């Protein structure tokens, strides 16, 4: 019996001391051959992707694919090398150290893929999401994109690192339970932070403002929305010239007045006193002429040009800069042309809608639809857009039609006039450096939105389908957007208002209400400057008429 036990122990010891099996020379040769072939294939793919394909894509109008290829160049090289090594190891027996090397290569391949996905998202996807957001009116884009920019890389790396350790054979179950327990404890400890986070998500859904908006705080201070973070929102206080960070919970619970909505026009009211024995009608006319004469207030453009020269408290010419009066006159003249073109477009749409309502009953036949398309193209010519039809094949098979901007036109178009208008606006001597970018960005975004909306309506008119009875509604909806979000052709309701509000002792009290054209300009101090210039001019003109009193 003892002999048998000793024999088994000796057999077991001999097995445990057996040297590990090494790859044969044939396996090693096959491994190197596979690795060499893989590297050659990877090199050919690299040349095809990053040289031939990139040179071909550079000839296209859009650089999206070229940009993505440039971002992925280094991660792709690493992935090619790791994949070649892993493929070559399949020729060896996956035992012992070879198995660990294979796991290590798989783990490294996961890290390389994680890095490539993260680079693709943060450098390419976020960039083009921002570009797309500029072409939409949804203000939640401005909040959603920063949140994605902060969260997606974290989630990507967490998943990638988890797969990395799992591939190496590390059991993450215990770590997961520990993290879960810690999360519960931390959740109770940082409930205020979580509350701010979810309040930020509520701000994302409600979107009461967007970046750059001018808001009035409950304490009366004026602030600019600079950044909506995960926990706090960063505001810039104009008067104090400092930044303030407000928790999202606190901000979401306040009554906030957005001074930039629905438009950047803002109404100011000035109280002024006139001698009680003065002619109230004369005083009213003087005050109205003062407001109308300022180039940066809203009002009838013909009247503004008429009274502009009589406004004394304006900046004079300095160096190569125009005087305020000259720059204002040039801008107002171009704005007259813009408003005239807008009225033509609005009238053309009214005629178009009237025609649609007349013929839409009973459905549209091909002839009626063709006439509508022709009339719509005439409207587009006022805007500065033309229809481009792409065809392919020997028979000229139709592919699609789209709208493009006219490069050169003999007649002025709305788009060309808008660009001429904001370019003359940039000559305003009161503007600051930031305005040289703010104005073009603002109006180019509006132009792009107008193109998108008109193109959508164009596609509806080309192929109305079940919407053939709603073409008039779509047209009216565009005109409504033109009024509310693009530019008003007539701002009669925003013209200055002068009212006699009270008579006390030796003075008559007048209330003067007027609109400033864009309070976001001049580092958000445009309204204060205009209000000050108007007050000075009131004092000068009323004293000149011998009717001013301190009241």
Q: How far is CA 473 from the centre of its chain?
A: 27
Structure confidence at residue 414 (pLDDT): 95
Structure confidence at residue 146 (pLDDT): 65
pLDDT-wise least confident of 263-272, 387-396, 508-517 = 387-396
pLDDT band at 2 (very low <50, low <70, confident <90, very high): very low
pLDDT-wise least confident of 77-81, 131-135, 188-192, 544-548 = 188-192
Residue 350: HSE in the Cβ half-sphere, 13 Å Cα cutoff:
6
Element (H, E) at 31: helix 25-47
Q: What is the mean pLDDT of the segment spanning 446-455?
A: 92
3-state secondary structure of 412: coil
Q: Are strands 214-216 and 222-228 parallel, antiparallel or unpaired?
A: antiparallel
Predicted TM-score (pTM) of this structure: 0.72
Spatial distance between the Cα atoms of 290 and 294, rounded to a whole number of angstroms: 7
Q: Pick from 79, 28, 137, 11: which is nearest to 452 by CA?
A: 137
Structure confidence at residue 247 (pLDDT): 77
Q: What is the mean pLDDT of the segment spanning 475-487?
A: 92
Q: What is the mean pLDDT of the segment spanning 458-463?
A: 89
Spatial distance between the Cα atoms of 122 and 227, rounded to a whole number of angstroms: 18
Structure confidence at residue 3 (pLDDT): 46
Quick check: 134 and 448 in contact, CB under 8 A?
A: yes
pLDDT band at 498 (very low <50, low <70, confident <90, very high): very high
Highest mean pLDDT among 42-56, 332-346, 453-467: 332-346
Structure confidence at residue 300 (pLDDT): 94
Q: What is the pLDDT of residues 382-391, one digit of tens each?
A: 999 998 887 6
Structure confidence at residue 515 (pLDDT): 95
Number of helices and strands (H, E) in the chain? 19, 10
Structure confidence at residue 18 (pLDDT): 47
Structure confidence at residue 533 (pLDDT): 95
Q: Pick from 453, 430, 247, 467: which is nearest to 321 by CA?
A: 430
The answer to whether residue 261 scores a pLDDT higher than 70 is yes
Q: What is the pLDDT of residues 77-134, one digit of tens each?
A: 888 888 888 787 777 765 667 777 777 888 888 888 888 888 777 777 776 776 666 6
3-state secondary structure of 410: coil
Tell me the chain's radius of gyration from C-alpha atoms.
35
409 vs 174, which has greater pLDDT? 409
Structure confidence at residue 5 (pLDDT): 46
| Tokens, residue 351 | 């005629």
Structure confidence at residue 6 (pLDDT): 47
Paired strand residues for 401:
389
Report the mean per-residue pLDDT for the chain.
81
Q: Are strands 397-405 and 385-392 parallel, antiparallel or unpaired?
A: antiparallel
Share of the chain above pLDDT 90, in %: 36
The answer to whether residue 426 scores a pLDDT higher than 90 is yes
Structure confidence at residue 279 (pLDDT): 94
Q: What is the mean pLDDT of the segment spanning 196-206?
A: 60
Which residues lie below 8 Å from residue 401, measured CB to CB, with a gap of 6+? 387, 388, 389, 390, 458, 459, 462
Q: Which class for 261: exposed (0-12), middle (13-18), buried (19 or more C-beta within 10 A)?
A: middle
Structure confidence at residue 144 (pLDDT): 64
Structure confidence at residue 64 (pLDDT): 65
Q: What is the mean pLDDT of the segment spanning 232-255?
A: 79
Q: What is the pLDDT of residues 526-542, one digit of tens each?
A: 999 999 999 999 999 99
pLDDT-wise least confident of 107-116, 285-294, 443-452 = 107-116
pLDDT band at 21 (very low <50, low <70, confident <90, very high): low
Share of the chain above pLDDT 70, in %: 78
The answer to whether residue 330 scores a pLDDT higher than 90 is yes
The answer to whether residue 15 scores a pLDDT higher than 60 is no
Structure confidence at residue 48 (pLDDT): 81
Termini Cα distance of the chain: 127
Structure confidence at residue 508 (pLDDT): 94
The answer to whether residue 22 scores a pLDDT higher than 70 is no
Q: Which class for 375: exposed (0-12), middle (13-18), buried (19 or more C-beta within 10 A)?
A: middle
């Amino acid at each position: 019996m003892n002999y048998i036990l000793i024999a088994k122990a000796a057999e077991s010891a001999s097995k445990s001391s057996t040297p590990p099996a090494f790859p044969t020379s044939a396996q090693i040769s096959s491994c190197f051959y596979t690795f060499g072939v893989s590297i050659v294939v990877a090199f050919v793919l690299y040349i095809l992707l990053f040289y031939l394909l990139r040179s071909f894509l550079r000839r296209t109008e859009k650089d999206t694919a070229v940009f993505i290829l440039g971002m992925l160049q280094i991660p792709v090289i690493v992935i090619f090398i790791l994949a070649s090594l892993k493929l070559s190891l399949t020729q060896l027996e996956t035992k012992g150290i070879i198995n660990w090397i294979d796991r290590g290569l798989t783990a490294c391949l996961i890290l390389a893929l994680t890095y490539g996905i993260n680079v693709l998202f943060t450098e390419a996807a976020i960039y083009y999401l921002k570009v797309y957001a500029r072409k939409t009116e949804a203000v939640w884009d401005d909040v959603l994109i920063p949140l994605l920019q902060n969260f997606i890389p974290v989630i990507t790396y967490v998943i990638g690192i988890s797969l990395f350790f799992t591939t190496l054979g590390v059991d993450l179950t215990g770590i997961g339970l520990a993290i879960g327990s810690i999360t519960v404890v931390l959740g109770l400890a940082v409930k205020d932070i979580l509350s701010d986070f979810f309040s930020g998500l509520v701000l994302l859904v409600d979107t009461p403002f967007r970046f750059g908006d001018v808001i009035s705080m409950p304490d009366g201070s004026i602030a600019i929305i600079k950044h909506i973070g995960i926990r706090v929102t960063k505001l810039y206080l104009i008067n104090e010239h400092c930044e303030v960070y407000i928790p999202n919970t606190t901000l979401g619970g306040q009554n906030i007045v957005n001074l930039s909505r629905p438009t950047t026009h803002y109404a100011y009211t000035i109280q002024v006193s006139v001698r009680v024995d003065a002619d109230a009608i004369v005083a009213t006319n003087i005050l109205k002429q003062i407001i109308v004469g300022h180039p940066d207030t809203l009002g009838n453009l013909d009247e503004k040009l008429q009274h502009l020269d009589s406004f004394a408290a304006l900046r004079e010419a300095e160096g190569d800069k125009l005087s305020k009066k000259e720059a204002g006159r040039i801008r107002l003249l171009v704005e007259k042309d813009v408003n005239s073109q807008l009225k033509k477009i609005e009238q053309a749409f009214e005629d178009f809608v009237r025609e649609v309502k007349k013929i839409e009953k009973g459905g549209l036949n091909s002839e009626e639809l063709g006439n509508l398309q022709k009339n719509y193209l005439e409207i587009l010519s006022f805007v500065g857009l033309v229809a481009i039809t792409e065809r392919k094949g020997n028979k000229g098979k139709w592919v699609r039609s789209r709208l493009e901007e006219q490069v050169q036109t003999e007649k002025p178009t709305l788009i060309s006039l808008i660009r001429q208008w904001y370019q003359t606006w940039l000559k305003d001597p009161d503007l600051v450096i930031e305005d040289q970018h703010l104005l073009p960005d603002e109006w180019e975004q509006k132009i792009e939105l107008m193109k998108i909306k008109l193109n959508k309506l164009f596609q509806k008119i080309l192929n109305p389908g079940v919407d053939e009875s709603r073409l008039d509604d779509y047209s009216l909806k565009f005109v409504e957007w033109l009024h509310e979000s693009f530019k008003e052709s007539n701002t009669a309701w925003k013209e200055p208002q002068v009212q006699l509000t009270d008579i006390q002792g030796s003075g008559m009290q007048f209330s003067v209400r007027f609109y400033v054209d864009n309070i976001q300009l001049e580092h958000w101090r445009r309204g204060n400057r205009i209000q000050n210039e108007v007050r000075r001019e009131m004092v000068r003109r009323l004293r000149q008429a011998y009717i001013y009193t301190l009241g």
